[in-house]
Amino acid sequence: MSTAALYNDQGAAEAAVEAGQETTPTSSSSGAAFGLFSTDFKKNEDLKEMLESNKESLKLEAMKRIVQLISKGKNASELFPAIVKNVASKNIELKKLVYVYLVRYAEEQQDLALLSISTFQRALKDPNQFIRASALRVLSSIRVPIIVPIMMLAIKEAAADLSPYVRKTSAHAIQKLHSLDPDQKEQLIEVIEKLLKDKSTLVAGSVVMAFEEVCPDRIDLIHKNYRKLCNLLVDVEEWGQVVIINMLTRYARTQFLNPNINESLLEEGSGGEKMFYGSDEDEDEDEKEKKAEAAAIAKRKPYVMDPDHRLLLRNTKPLLQSRNAAVVMAVAQLYFHLAPKAEVGVIAKALVRLLRSHSEVQFVVLQNVATMTIKRRGMFEPYLKSFYIRSTDPTQIKVLKLEVLTNLANETNISTILREFQTYIKSMDKDFVAATIQAIGRCATNIGEVRDTCLNGLVQLLSNRDELVVAESVVVIKKLLQMQPEKHSDIIKHMAKLTDNIQVPMARASILWLIGEYCEHVPRIAPDVLRKMAKSFTNEEDIVKLQIINLAAKLYLTNSKQTKLLTQYVLNLAKYDQNYDIRDRARFVRQLIVPTEKSGALSKYAKKLFLALKPAPVLESPFKDRDHFQLGSLSHLLNAKAGGYQELPEWPEAAPDPSVRNVEVKESVPEWTKCSSREKRKEKKVEKPFYSDSEGESGPTESADSESDSASTTDSASASVSEESESGLESESEEESETEEEEEDKKEKKNQKKEPKKPVQESESEQSSEEEDRKPEKRSKKLKSDSESDSVEDEGSESESSPSESEDFESEAVVTKKKKAAESKPPSKSVRKEEKKEKKEMSLLDLDDFEPTPSPQVTPVNTLLSNSLATDLEGLSLSDSILSPATIIPSGALKNYELLHRITGEGLSVEYCFSRQPFSPDANMVAVQLQFTNNSTSDTKNLHMEDVRLQSGMRVKEFPEIELLPAGEMTSAVMGIDFCDSTQAANFQLCSHTKKFFVSIQPPVGELMRPVFLTENEFKKEQGQLMGMNEITEKLTLDVKCRNEHAIVQRVTTAANLSRVPCGSDKECRFAGRTVTSSSLVLVTVATREEGAAQLMVNCEKMVIGTMLVKDILLALTQ
Amino acid sequence: MIHSLFLINHSGDIFLEKHWKSVISRSVCDYFFEAKEKAEDPENVPPVLQTPHHYLISIYRGKLFFLSVVQTEVPPLFVIEFLHRVADTFQEYFGECSESVIKDNVVIVYELLEEMLDNGFPLATESNVLKEMIRPPTILRSVVNTLTGGSNVGDTLPTGQLSIIPWRRAGVKYTNNEAYFDVIEEIDAIVDKSGTTVFAEIQGVIEACVRLSGMPDLTLSFMNPRLLDDMSFHPCVRFKRWEAERVLSFIPPDGNFRLMSYHVSSQNLVAIPVYVKQNISFLETGSCGRLEITIGPKQTMGKMVEALMATIHMPKSVLSVSLTASQGSYTYDITTKILIWDIGRLNPQKLPNLRGSLSMQTGVPKPEENPSINIDLKIQQLAISGLKVSRLDMYGEKYKPFKGVKYLTKAGKFQVRT
């Protein structure tokens, strides 16, 4: 019922009819209706009455009808006073509908709207976060300038709200306020700055949106949050991802160097050389020198990708798998604009996938693909067939696919493409056929080999029945003929005949032009054509008339004997034409070609003017040069700058200081762990050239190359069916190159032990960012691990034995610990710091000393009891930190994780647990106990590890090979992994004499630390220094079974490898530990209140570890 | 971002409008109507239009246009994807996405739109979250609501937004715990006149219907995951786990959702289940034509081909057809010129055949191109790529769920050129 269209101010009768339609059958009140209020006040009264009644249901009914009115775009503003009263209603639905109304009409009824403000102000203080949020939403949507200060205040408060949902709403409100009153910009930027620091994934997308809207040029606000945004990206909701990725693309363009810079420089260089050989020496000398210099510079300063640049590329890549087309497109454009040439290929597959989606999505994607194919044709070549056209595609899609196919055409595939084009030409969709003909023309100009074939094909089309097809062919043939006219006079003759039949002006004009241009080739026909044209001159279209004049002029110049009269006739006709262009042209031509007394000078040159050689046209894609617009943007699609479009900046000449992105570390952090990253960075910078010089010239260059290579091959590998093994190897090489820097550092460390701290800090700076991106995974891992332990129960006997055994092992460990404790000297607080330092060095020494001779450790028990040299040394050299946990190791069973299921392992099953023992060969490693069970009927031999794939900085100490595992037996082994304080998985191959299995070990965050002993005072002091961003507090309700102190202690220590810190109050439990690799302090406090309410506080310098740990402990305490 | 939304029906009436910022007059749609006139076919309306002050981005779904107005630079796909999400949500709430249904539920529609966008930026688009805030209508509830004046808005405020898992609502309880997975594969193919395959690939999706209490953590693994070439996942799937182990590990949303869609590499040979022998000819004289089509089984993996259907878009000049079908029935729509032959089950012993004559408009030259034939078919209990689910495990909850996997092969864009 198109009431909207029907409705006019026509009177009550029609209004009543309409009313009958509009009132819902349920409306109990009456059949009395409403309509346009200016014409029918009574119906208005009816609604007003309903609104003012005491019955909620009546009010609701009225509001529903009003919303219906609004949805139809009708005016309901007169009801404002009656409605605004209900803003404080308790009924949620009524309230929501009132909000809808308010947002729609407040602008028009500003004074009355103010009545509702106080309600919102009250709601902003509501304990329920959703009420606070919705109050802010509506308040900020009321576009009334007078409340700007109130809004400002509300936004500021909400930005500091505890609930991330409210903070998200405040980010939205920023944009609303900005559009209402741009003068508030400065203050709003402050709020944005604050919200950018927010760690919640909920907020990130919205605040970046606000940033883009309010202050997109304040790129400096992003620096400090760059790494965080990169790492959060995977967890942000999909819409936020799009906005963040687009913003980061722009950011990266300002901050990093062009990854393809070397390539372009070298290309230029070689180009210069060619020129040099080809041309005069002196001329190019300077230039050549310059080029050579550039090339030399390029060689001397190999491009090394900024780790932050790499971080962005790495973290966006998984999003190509998103179900949201906008996200995929955003990543694709990011890769297109930012990635090294060799890596861009990965996006092709994802983009081709989008072609399966709705036709609108296809339309946009194809536009972008068309632009991409011009620059990087190779990328889409393997997917050529995916762009084949179906007869059911909408025309606009067909034309775009054609464009892509044309761009993809090259010598090798042109025959396939032309065959495909042949079927298209027969299509019923004539617009499409026309586009196909143009496409053929373009293929023919671009690829010389097929020019004749195409031309012949097109000539055949000239006999097509459809005029449109013929016309288009003529136009294209004209362009092709221009390239080599002398060979094709018969085609021109053929076309001359067509003038009798073809009516399409463009085609006629093209033919005439051709004949005129090449009249020497067709000396007989040309005058005849002119004769015919002269006859029909008055009936022709303008563009044909112009060409007739042209033809006449050219013939007059070449063959004036035959055509003099005809030309004059034509010029006379033109002289009186209606169109002034034609009159002008005729006058001009006449003066030029017909010699008179006055015009002596010019007519001499007439021949030169008219019969000059015209360059053949270049048929170009309309998508050429579109890529100066950011791909995927509206501006790109329209090929015109849209309002609010932010230009994609050019790459900078030299990279700006990368240290601006380093996140500040609090001064209070203990000295030995403090990462004075800024200095560090600079130091690194200085050192780099030194290394690249001394350690083989091309070292780093190669690394950059190999990196990109491997990335591209990984991609293709994953396309092939047998990807697993290949990609395994390749990604290793990638990591290798990434870690190269660090390796170098390690080398240095070996050589110059004067700076023993360095490598640790180095790796730290990178890790801290890396860790954050483990977060999502972490969460899932946690859940998984829980569930897995469940599954253990389910699966029954097979795995039942393992927990008990690990318990045994536990107790044994305790014994040894105690033994060690007795041996070691008592810790003294005053020298602790120094000891720590010393310890660091010791551990390094350990590494050097023991690496060549792997300590014989078959089982952990063995190691610990045998008191090998390693353990001895450690026990002597170490401070309290390792010894203290012995007293408080959790009594609960250690969690077992499955490494290899017995089905996938074909009889061999492997489980692992984090034994929480110090790993003797290297204190920076976490000990992982593996338990092998051979469930098969045959023996397994030579169990060992191979092909270890690690994230940068991580190290693994392999377990000694197990020679023989008889059928039905089990055995265990210990390996060490330095996770670098991240929850990155360590991937490796587990090999037996016959099989190889891909496995990975991933630590829960709680296993990345070791217990440390602190006194209450120390604890408080350290805690005091880890405030602010380093402190995370979370309220929780304790599980019923977990309300006593003992239970809490047990659960926390199970979740994380921490030791208890003595505490005066029985309401508080405190725990302390240090991360294994970087020795950052981790402090946990659980404060209990009445009825299971509790507060969890984690202080850790490493925020990522902190947040992950909070999640884990929360889970442990609440479940 | 998105400024306003207009819903426009097939005949060009605006029947719903919603503004998230200040009101934009509906006259802005005139530019759209102009383009629509020009395009003739609604599918050919350009999705993005430029007007002097605004940009119009539209989608066409279920005979409706969803037209959004934007004023500044925004990725067009962002808007298009969102509009489709809106249409999906309507579909999920009301069972279909049509004009009448939207008009009947205009209040809910309005409430939904209000929640989905805030100031033009998407706020809540997960259906699990939305359903908690605004309950979908059911027949029972609408009767009760009529009597009591109750509402569709949830009584309790949602918690979903803040749970660690944004796509799953908390506190799900079922008496029967079930999880069903449908592996649906579509064959996209172009077969040329002579019967050779020009292009063929398999696109698959796994549709899930999960009704499990609590917070189940599911793991779905395949016998042969290497078949999968390219895939996209529901956000719930742990990507890293897939990368490392090739298993799908996820905490599912409640209800129906698409777990993943995948593409089977076109390098693999694609089995084409049927062959089509056709002969369509238009005679130069006498203004008539002949048509004969026979369909037979090719590579069906021993399964029954069902719901076989052939659709032909005839040239404009074909006035009527008189055909006989050895099996099934055919219809010819004179206005749209579409011939549909509904065959049903394919009997390998007696191949279905359609033959007869076409009568053409006189005085019009014969069409140059023969129309192509689009084939529809279904094969139950078969995933044509050979993909097989090996097991489904559930962790995190104690009960034993009922699990089921179904396979189905369909023809996607299966076109036979003639």
Q: Closest Cα of chain B to A1074: distance in Å? A: 27
Positions in chain B short of pLDDT 70 = 138-164, 265-268, 285-286
CB contact under 8 A, A360 and B58: yes
* A301: confidence class by pLDDT, cuts 50, 70, 90: low
Render pLDDT for B279-326 as a digit per residue (tens, 0 to 9): 888 877 667 888 899 998 888 778 888 899 999 988 888 888 888 989
- Domain range for B20 is 2-148
**Taking a C-beta distance cutoff of 8 angstroms, is the pair A1092, A1038 a contact?**
yes
Higher pLDDT, A135 or A718: A135
Report the pLDDT value the prediction gives residue A860, as an integer from 0 to 100.
42
Structural domains in chain A, sorted by start: 43-260 (1.25.10.10), 896-1003 (2.60.40.1150), 1007-1117 (3.30.310.10)
* Alpha carbons within 13 A on the beta-carbon side of B220: 26
Give the residue-averaged pLDDT of A928-948. Answer: 82
A317 has pLDDT over 50: yes
* Distance, CA of B257 to CA of B181 (rounded, Å): 10
A872 has pLDDT over 60: no
Backbone angles phi, psi at B148, to 5 degrees: -100, -10
Render pLDDT for A425-484 as a digit per residue (tens, 0 to 9): 888 888 888 899 989 888 888 887 888 888 888 887 877 777 778 788 888 888 888 777
Whether B225 and B352 share a structural domain: no
Secondary structure class of A980 (helix, strand, coil): coil
Whether B88 and B32 share a structural domain: yes
Report the pLDDT value the prediction gives residue A405, as an integer from 0 to 100.
92
Give the residue-averaged pLDDT of A380-385. Answer: 87
Three-class DSSP labels, A992-1012: CCCCEEEEEECCCHHHHEEEC
Residue B163 lies in a domain: no
**Taking a C-beta distance cutoff of 8 angstroms, is the pair A1075, A669 a contact?**
no
Higher pLDDT, A318 or A750: A318
Report the pLDDT value the prediction gives residue B153, as an integer from 0 to 100.
54
Helices (H), ranges, B268-400? none
* A327: confidence class by pLDDT, cuts 50, 70, 90: very high
* Distance, CA of A547 to CA of A581 (rounded, Å): 12
Q: Model pTM?
A: 0.66
Nearest CA in chain A to B374: A392
Structure tokens at B201: 């690939």
Whether B137 and B253 share a structural domain: no
Report the pLDDT value the prediction gives residue B86, as an integer from 0 to 100.
93
Report the pLDDT value the prediction gives residue A589, as an integer from 0 to 100.
86
Q: What percent of chain A has pLDDT over 70?
A: 71
Residue B170 lies in a domain: no
| B contacts of A719 (beta carbons < 8 Å) | 229, 265, 267
Which of B11, B47, B368 is nearest residue A363 as measured by Cβ atoms? B47
Whether B135 and B250 share a structural domain: no
- Single-letter code of the amino acid located at A221: L
The CATH number that applies at residue B8 is 3.30.450.60
A1003 has pLDDT over 70: yes
Report the pLDDT value the prediction gives residue B199, as an integer from 0 to 100.
84
CB contact under 8 A, B240 and A777: yes
Report the pLDDT value the prediction gives residue A502, as an integer from 0 to 100.
78
Render pLDDT for B24-78 as a digit per residue (tens, 0 to 9): 888 889 999 999 888 878 888 899 999 888 999 999 988 899 999 998 889 999 9
CB contact under 8 A, A67 and B107: yes
Q: How many residues does the structure list for chain B? A: 418
Higher pLDDT, A978 or B150: A978
Nearest CA in chain A to B45: A396
Render pLDDT for A539-571 as a digit per residue (tens, 0 to 9): 888 889 999 998 888 888 888 788 888 888 988
DSSP A753: T
Residue B293 lies in a domain: yes
A285 has pLDDT over 60: no
Which of B13, B164, B215 is nearest residue A779 as measured by Cβ atoms? B164
* A977: confidence class by pLDDT, cuts 50, 70, 90: confident
Q: What is the mean pLDDT of chain A?
A: 73
Render pLDDT for A147-170 as a digit per residue (tens, 0 to 9): 888 889 999 999 988 888 889 889
Whether B403 and B389 share a structural domain: yes
Whether B101 and B233 share a structural domain: no
* Distance, CA of A1003 to CA of A1016 (rounded, Å): 29
Whether B98 and B191 share a structural domain: no
Give the residue-averaged pLDDT of A1046-1052. Answer: 83
Q: How many Cβ contacts (< 8 angstroms) between chains A and B? A: 290
Residue B399 lies in a domain: yes
* Distance, CA of A525 to CA of A511 (rounded, Å): 12
Report the pLDDT value the prediction gives residue A289, as an integer from 0 to 100.
54
Higher pLDDT, A1058 or A595: A1058
Whether B17 and B129 share a structural domain: yes
CB contact under 8 A, B199 and A780: no
A14 has pLDDT over 60: no
CB contact under 8 A, B14 and A427: no
The CATH number that applies at residue B362 is 2.60.40.1170
Residue from B16, B81, B125, B248 whose CB has the most chain A CBs within 10 Å, to mutate: B81
Report the pLDDT value the prediction gives residue A667, as an integer from 0 to 100.
42
| B contacts of A786 (beta carbons < 8 Å) | 395-396
| A contacts of B217 (beta carbons < 8 Å) | 783-784, 787
Report the pLDDT value the prediction gives residue B179, as an integer from 0 to 100.
92
Whether B11 and B140 share a structural domain: yes
Residue B301 lies in a domain: yes
Residue from B9, B33, B85, B121 whose CB has the most chain A CBs within 10 Å, to mutate: B121
Whether B264 and B408 share a structural domain: yes
Give me the DSSP letters along A1069-1112: EEEEEEETTT--EEEEEEEE-GGGEEEEEEEESSHHHHHHHHHH
CB contact under 8 A, A4 and B374: no
- Radius of gyration of chain B measured on its C-alpha atoms: 25
Nearest CA in chain A to B99: A1
Whether B226 and B281 share a structural domain: no
Secondary structure class of A828 (helix, strand, coil): coil
Domain count, chain B: 3
Which of B59, B114, B369 is nearest residue A428 as measured by Cβ atoms? B369
Residue B126 lies in a domain: yes
Render pLDDT for A490-546 as a digit per residue (tens, 0 to 9): 788 888 887 887 778 888 888 888 888 888 888 888 888 888 888 888 888 888 999
Whether B133 and B15 share a structural domain: yes
Domain boundary residue, one of B148, B165, B189: B148
Residue B160 lies in a domain: no
* Distance, CA of A609 to CA of A122 (rounded, Å): 83
Residue B153 lies in a domain: no
The complex's ipTM works out to 0.90
Q: Closest Cα of chain A to B13: distance in Å? A: 7
Q: Closest Cα of chain B to A623: distance in Å? A: 17
CB contact under 8 A, A169 and B72: no
Report the pLDDT value the prediction gives residue A357, as an integer from 0 to 100.
87
